[in-house]
């Protein structure tokens, strides 16, 4: 439809007009003064220039002359609330509009559509003060043309009636003028009330303790409040019209795209992301986005509200550390017990080996038993480290079906599920998730092994792994079900506590489920369990998809 350069020193006016033009399909760039407009015209190709007349520095009339000196073919429209047409009559422009702008008239000018006007007929009407006549043409029988003139209105009768007409017209004009003046006063009152409300809202947004930023549909920044200036280190003028990606680190670019897609699809997005200051410093932030709608319900802008949560994250880490110390104090006796048992076996075997040191076979047996117990301690230590200090996630896009198939294939190869009837109830075409494949395989490997062990004494040994998508929550759900002994109700709340176990000695130390829960939560998911004693147990893992999923770099 054409590329437009919009020039206006009033930020509110240029933003409002820019949104209106973009909604009609025009490509619009905006500047706040004549000098910058000339630079843009020198650098790029524009079909139209729309400029305010009254601007500080170079006004609109000077700008027209400067543009036409280098681009005589440029189509220019001027707008003003104070100038008259007489002042602009010598300028070669395509149109002049008074503020407030008739936007439909502007669209017609831009589309080269005719603008209704009576001005071409004014001179003729003004000169017609005598009698009115009509002219007709007829033909005589000899085919010659005869021109006939008829007095349409006798002058005397015309003047008599005209006097009464003008008297009535004068009264009508007075009445209409009073009505128009009253409407004008009402419009002025409404205009000033609107300006007052606008200033109030702008001050309210500016006083917000959160960063409030608005962007157009092409992600160009339209507004930037005081807290945003303090947080990101830019001024309003520095970011105006720039893409919002300058406020995000490069590695969250894809996530930012997904956030905008969800905002346009569902109207809003809420979660955590990362921001980047002018000096390049990256920080964690809470983020809420919402679509700004026009009268037809179409999104014409996006509101972006964010907050620096660096201090909250530090406090969270301190609380987690304090909680770990507290848990460590509670677990110390259990840890000592778990370590003392293999140490006792190691000690006994070493003492016995010392007693039978001349019998090489017995010494070898003692050393083998001791090494087995050392292995138990090493395994316990690794699990404790996983609980206390989880390893970093290696995030990538995954198919949950691939994760489950790899897990089942591995357990089949090692013989863990060879005596089970395995049923797969997979929903096809599930959305991909973001996660660490090896850690998610560890989650489902442990759950399936637990299910297998729970069915050792059961007559029915059916393992069911099922998946489905929850579109309202945008989560993928994975359920691992068994037909084993089930979990007593009083134990359900304890199963995720470290060292809690109902397994026989040597078959588990109670750290598997706490590790699983930690991995799932670091993927921003959750795990739930339901059980029917004597019938079986269901473990259900919920993992988010898309922009909600875990992030990393």
Q: Decide if 334 contacts 340 (C-beta within 8 A).
A: no
Alpha-carbon distances, residue 434 vs 346, 440, 522, 523, 546 (angstroms): 44, 11, 11, 8, 7
Ordered domains of the chain (ranges, CATH) = 3-119 (3.40.50.2300), 208-308 (3.30.450.20), 313-388 (no CATH), 396-548 (3.30.565.10)
Which residue reads 């009837």 in tokens?
421
> pTM to 2 decimals?
0.39
Beta-carbon contacts of residue 185 (< 8 Å; ≥ 6 apart): none
pLDDT at residue number 456:
86
Flag residues of the chain having pLDDT under 70: 1, 82-86, 114-170, 319-335, 337-338, 379-380, 382-392, 414, 499-500, 502-511, 546-553
pLDDT at residue number 312:
86
The secondary structure of 288-314 as a DSSP string is EEEEEE-TTS-EEEEEEEEEE-HHHHH
Q: Residue 268: which H helix or E strand, with range?
A: strand 268-276
* Sheet arrangement for strand 282-293: 221-224, 211-216, 299-308, 282-293, 268-276
**Residue 432 DSSP label:** P
Q: Which residues pair with 511 in a beta bridge?
A: none
- Structural tokens at position 7: 């020039």
Beta-carbon contacts of residue 287 (< 8 Å; ≥ 6 apart): 259, 269, 270, 271, 272, 273, 304, 305, 306
**Residue 119 DSSP label:** G
Q: Decide if 455 contacts 514 (C-beta within 8 A).
A: no
pLDDT at residue number 133:
46
Query: Could you give the CA distance from residue 461 to residue 538 in angstroms, rounded to a whole number?
Result: 14
pLDDT at residue number 399:
92
pLDDT at residue number 247:
93
Query: Could you give the CA distance from residue 8 to residue 21 in angstroms, rounded to a whole number?
Result: 14
Query: Could you give the CA distance from residue 116 to residue 151 in angstroms, rounded to a whole number?
Result: 32
Per residue in 491-530, pLDDT (tens digit) is: 887 888 776 676 665 555 566 788 888 889 888 899 999 9
Question: What distance separates the 2 farthest-apart alpha carbons in the chain?
Answer: 156
Alpha-carbon distances, residue 116 vs 48, 104, 105, 120, 435 (angstroms): 22, 12, 9, 11, 63
Query: Could you give the CA distance from residue 508 to residue 515 in angstroms, rounded to a whole number?
Result: 13
3-state secondary structure string, 83-116?
A: CCHHHHCCCCCCEEEECCCCHHHHHHHHCCCCCC
Q: Is the dihedral of CA 225, 229, 234, 236 positive or negative?
A: positive
């Amino acid at each position: 439809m054409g590329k437009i350069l919009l020039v206006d020193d009033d930020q509110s006016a240029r933003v409002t007009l820019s949104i209106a033009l973009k909604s009609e399909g025009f490509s619009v760039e905006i500047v706040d003064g004549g000098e910058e407009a000339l630079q843009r015209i020198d650098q790029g190709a524009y079909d139209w220039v729309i400029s305010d007349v009254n601007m500080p520095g170079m006004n609109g009339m000077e700008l027209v002359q400067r543009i036409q000196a280098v681009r005589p073919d440029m189509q220019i429209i001027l707008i003003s609330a104070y100038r008259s047409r007489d002042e602009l009559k010598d300028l070669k422009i395509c149109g002049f509009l008074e503020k407030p702008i008739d936007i439909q008239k502007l669209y017609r000018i831009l589309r080269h559509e005719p603008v209704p006007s009576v001005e071409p007929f004014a001179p003729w009407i003004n000169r017609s003060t005598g009698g009115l006549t009509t002219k007709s043409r007829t033909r005589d029988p000899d085919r010659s043309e005869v021109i006939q003139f008829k007095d349409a209105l006798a002058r005397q009768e015309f003047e008599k009636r005209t006097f009464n007409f003008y008297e009535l017209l004068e009264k009508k004009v007075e009445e209409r003028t009073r009505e128009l003046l009253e409407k004008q006063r009402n419009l002025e009152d409404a205009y000033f009330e609107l300006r007052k409300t606008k200033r109030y809202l702008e001050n309210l947004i500016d006083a917000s303790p959160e960063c409030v930023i608005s962007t157009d549909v092409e992600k160009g920044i339209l507004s930037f409040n005081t807290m945003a200036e303090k947080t990101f280190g830019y001024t309003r003028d520095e970011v105006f019209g720039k893409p919002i990606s300058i406020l995000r680190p490069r590695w969250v670019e894809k996530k930012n795209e997904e956030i905008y897609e969800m905002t346009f699809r569902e109207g809003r997005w809420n979660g955590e992301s990362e921001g980047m200051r002018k000096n390049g410093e990256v920080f964690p932030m809470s983020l809420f986005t919402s679509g700004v709608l026009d009268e037809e319900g179409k999104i014409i802008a996006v509101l972006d509200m964010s907050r620096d949560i660096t201090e909250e994250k530090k406090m969270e880490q301190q609380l987690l550390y304090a909680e770990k110390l507290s848990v460590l104090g509670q677990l110390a006796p259990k840890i000592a017990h778990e370590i003392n048992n293999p140490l006792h076996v190691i000690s006994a075997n070493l003492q016995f080996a010392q007693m039978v040191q001349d019998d090489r076979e017995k010494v070898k047996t003692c050393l083998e038993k001791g090494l087995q117990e050392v292995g138990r301690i090493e395994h316990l230590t690794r699990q404790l480290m996983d609980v206390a200090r989880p390893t970093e996630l290696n995030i990538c896009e995954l198919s949950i079906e691939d994760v489950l198939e790899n897990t089942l294939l591995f357990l089949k190869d090692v013989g863990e599920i060879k005596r089970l009837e395995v049923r797969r109830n997979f929903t096809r075409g599930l959305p991909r998730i973001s996660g660490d494949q090896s850690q998610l395989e560890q989650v489902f490997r442990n759950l399936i092994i637990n299910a297998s062990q729970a069915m050792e004494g059961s007559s029915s040994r059916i393992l069911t792994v099922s998946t489905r998508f929850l579109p309202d929550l945008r989560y993928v759900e994975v359920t691992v079900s068994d037909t084993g002994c089930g979990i007593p109700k009083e134990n359900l709340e304890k199963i995720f506590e470290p060292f809690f176990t109902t397994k026989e000695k040597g078959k588990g130390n109670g750290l598997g489920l706490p590790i699983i829960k930690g991995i799932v939560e670091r993927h921003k998911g959750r795990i739930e369990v339901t059980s029917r004693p004597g019938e079986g147990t269901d473990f259900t893992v919920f993992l988010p998809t898309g922009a909600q999923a875990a992030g990393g770099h």
